[in-house]
Structure 1
Amino acid sequence: MAISPRDPDQQTFPLSDEQRLAWLRLIRSENVGPATFKNLIGHFGSAQRAIEAAPNLSRRGGRAIRIASRPDAERELEAATRAGIRFVGMGEPDYPPWLRHADAPPPLLSVRGSVAGLTRPAVAIVGARNASVAGRKMAFMLARDLGEAGLLVVSGLARGIDSSAHEASIRTGTVAVFAGGADVLYPPENAGLLAAILEHDGAAISEMPIGWEPRARDFPRRNRIIAGMTLATVVVEAAERSGSLITARLALEQNREVMAVPGSPIDPRAGGSNGLLKQGARLVTEARDVTEALAPLLGRFSEPASATGEFSAPDIQDFEPADTDRDRLYEALGPTPVGLDDIIRFTGLAPRTVQVLLLELDLAGRVERHPGSLISLR
């Protein structure tokens, strides 16, 4: 069964060169992650206005932060251009449409290679680095058949299962998501595989700065992109403490399909994937299991976009909540994550007041964001 490409989100907008530069400055600023970026744009209407307001907000939250300078952003843009990399903003036509609906989507993706396939319906295939021959063969067959059915195959360019999935889908379309910068190959032995992907109009993408060397803590962030830009995550051979299980959990948290290939119960490389099946993941033995499950989901995200854009917004740069409001909010927060609606309900503060106070604390590095829009004190 062939699946036709379909963009579930038609509301897109291009960024001007100046807007793209401001977006890059804002996301590279201290304590500004994807969620904070989105909230700042939502409040101030543009990245430039958010940049102007952020220092005062962070000082009110208790700590001054560093805003990325224009020269720093210009140097990164120049380095990206030299490496054949372009930046695609959330909401632009080439941004992966399902990623817009994920938790904390990257405001900017650096893309090395072709952007043509990024808007296609996609499936993630992930699994063990030390995969068995049988596991690699299964990943190869799944990726080949899913690619022939019209699906983009997404993985992390790691050894083992990831590599097999990419190899099988080079000619039909595959995207490698990097934990480091889009110009930083990891692992180095996959240089030939990456070259083949790029030669056949595939892509390598990342949210990290150009030249960024991946660290252990960057791989879960990478996995969130893999899970977020795909309709389903298929796990092939994963141990009980595998990073692939993080991808599966993130997919589940974002209401995407989680599937797994059954493995031998005496092979520790299948302990995690078999565990997913026990927990209710869809069992996969052939590509048809995936395509039949996804067919009704292709229209699932057809609602109007809530993607971050550049738009007019109420001028709240001069709005400063009272100290008593700030104290009330801080007393209401603790180490246990709570939702924004609960904070508003129990403090009795106006939503606008709570949002501005949380921005202050966010920029000062005093609160932590959790999946499901939950918030706690650091």
Structure 2
Amino acid sequence: MEQYYLAALQRMSGIGSSRIKALVDYFGSARQAWLADQGDLFLSKCLDSTSCNNLLAQRDKIDIHKLAESLLKKGISICILSEDDYPALLRNTYNPPYVLYYRGTLPADDKLIAIVGSRKATAYGKNAATMLAATLAEAGVGIVSGAARGIDTAAHQGAVGKGYTVAVLGSGVDVVYPPENAKLLANIAESGLVISEYAPGTNAHPRQFPARNRIINGLAHGVVVVEAAEKSGALITADFALEEGRDVFVVPGSIFAGSSKGANGLIKQGAKLVDNASDILDEYGWGSIANSKPMPNLSSEEQAVYNLLDYEEPIGIEEIVTKVKVLPARAAYILLQLSLRGLTVEYSTQRYIRAAREGI
């Protein structure tokens, strides 16, 4: 039950990882800290008077056994800093979370790379993130990101079904944010890991994302930035990476795009430019990319539609109908077939791009 006493302590406002550690060190266990009387808590000097009084006032309202039962019903597990299965790279960072909540499976090793970037990503950025994540995942590298809109989502989508991916949330692991990622997070929990330092039920809030970013960085050997404006969360993650001695990689963006100013600036500062997964695999000696899968045989109509598509600029179905000279229903069917073969991506409603694939 020790982990559930830790979870209860972590729910108290004003008691973060450092104070939980101090309490456990002083009292010998989270249970003893939870049950300590007022005098002993004040004498420990682990808490200020406000946090101490808050703990005394709130703890009688929490039934530890009901808390444990609730977490188990939701499929939520707890990992503690002192346990062997706590992620090794994260453990060695400056301020690792003392308590982590998760759904799914903790990483079996530290062969992990983070991919982060703009929430307002372009088709180019999403395509690049998806391609890198898919290729790295197929090579046995776990992909870490924050499940936010844009680049984060593209990275997770690239890795799901290809290998292992970790979604680090700025909310409780039972809170879906953004809402449209409900299915994606469910899939990640089945084959990868959804993890957070925030107690279940905690809603997402902007002030929580910078702290979440330090965990994204802490889990991985390096961070790949794909599209980042001059002031963005991705750059905060890169800053954390540099502070922790992690590597920073950057996918170069257009010199005319504001969404790439920050990313390109990192290259000027010495970050390593990457344009394929081999750049990352070679950096760590993690092997090589398997031979690219051959292009599927396409019918003449399918080939015509595929040739019309671009890697960066989405094309609407109306333009495809006009240029290929097919009926709208036929164009939609062709695009569906190309998508099922992993050759196209619907960037927005009925606007399509060619899916990037290494070696093509």
Q: Which amino acid counterpart does residue 283 of structure 1 have in structure 2?
A: L
1:54 paired residue number: 41
* Structure 1: runs of 5 or more not aligned: 1-16, 297-378
CA deviation profile, 1:39-85 (whole Å, cap 9, x unmatched): 33344433234443434445995544322527354443332222111
Q: Residue 217 of structure 1 aligns to a residue in which SS?
A: helix
* Structure 2 counterpart of 1:65, from 47, 53, 67: 53
Which one of the candidate residues 10, 20, 26 is aligned to 2:3?
20
**In 2: Cα distance, 1:215 partner to 1:88 partner:** 23
Q: Rate the CA distance shift 1:174–1:189 in 2: closer, same or farther, 3 A.
A: same
Report the aligned-residue RMSD: 2.2
Map of 1:328 onto structure 2: none
Gaps of 5+ in 2: 287-360
In the alignment, what sits opposite 1:221?
211
Counterpart position of 1:98: 89
Is the Cα–Cα contact under 8 Å of residues 89 and 109 in structure 1 kept in the other structure? Answer: yes
Correspondence for 1:173: 164
Q: Distance in 1 between matches of 2:257 and 2:232?
A: 14
* SS of residue in 1 equivalent to 2:176: coil
**2:69 is the counterpart of 1:78:** yes
Q: Work out the CA distance in 1 between the residues paired with 2:266 and 2:254.
A: 14
In the other structure, the counterpart of 1:204 is: 194
Q: Aligned pair 1:259/2:259, yes or no?
A: no
1:239 equivalent in structure 2:
229
Aligned CA distance change for structure 1 residues 234 and 100 (closer, same or farther; 3 Å): same
User: In the alignment, is the contact (CA less than 8 A) between 1:79 and 1:210 conserved in 2?
Assistant: no
Closer/same/farther in 2, CA of residues 138 and 47 from structure 1, 3 Å limit: same
Distance 1:227 1:59, change over 3 A: closer
Whole-Å separation in 2 of the counterparts to 1:54 and 1:98 = 33
Aligned to 2:324: none
Q: 2:12 — aligned with what?
A: 29
Letter in 2 for 1:91: S
Within the candidate set 132, 136, 140, 1:150 is matched to 140
Equivalents in 2 of 1:258, 1:54: separation in Å? 43
TM-score by length of 1: 0.68
Which sits farther off after the overlay, 50-59 or 127-136? 50-59
Show CA shifts across 1:319-358 (max 9, x none): xxxxxxxxxxxxxxxxxxxxxxxxxxxxxxxxxxxxxxxx
Larger radius of gyration: 2
Distance in 2 separating the partners of 1:94 and 1:140: 29
How far apart in 1 are the matches of 2:136 and 2:221? 13
Q: Letter of the aligned partner of 2:173 in structure 1?
A: A
Match of 2:131 in 1: 141
Supply the distance in 1 between the matched residues of 2:248 and 2:281 (Cα, whole angstroms): 13
**CA drift at 1:91:** 3.0
Residues of 2 paired with 1:272 and 1:72: CA distance?
48
CA distance in 2, matches of 1:104, 1:129: 26
Number of equivalenced pairs? 277
Alpha-carbon offset, residue 183 of structure 1: 0.1
Cα displacement (A) at 1:242: 1.0
Distance in 1 (alpha carbons) for counterparts of 2:98 and 2:18: 9
Instruction: Give distance in 2, aligned partners of 1:59 and 1:87.
Output: 23
The normalised TM-score by structure 2 is: 0.71
Q: Which amino acid aligns with 1:94?
A: D
Q: Contact (CA 8 Å) 1:102, 1:229: kept in 2 or not? A: no
Q: Would you say 1:186 and 2:191 are equivalent positions?
A: no
Distance of aligned partners of 1:276 and 1:76 in 2 relative to their CA distance in 1, 3 Å threshold: farther
Q: 1:272 to 1:46 in 2, by over 3 A?
A: same
Matched, 1:39 2:22: yes
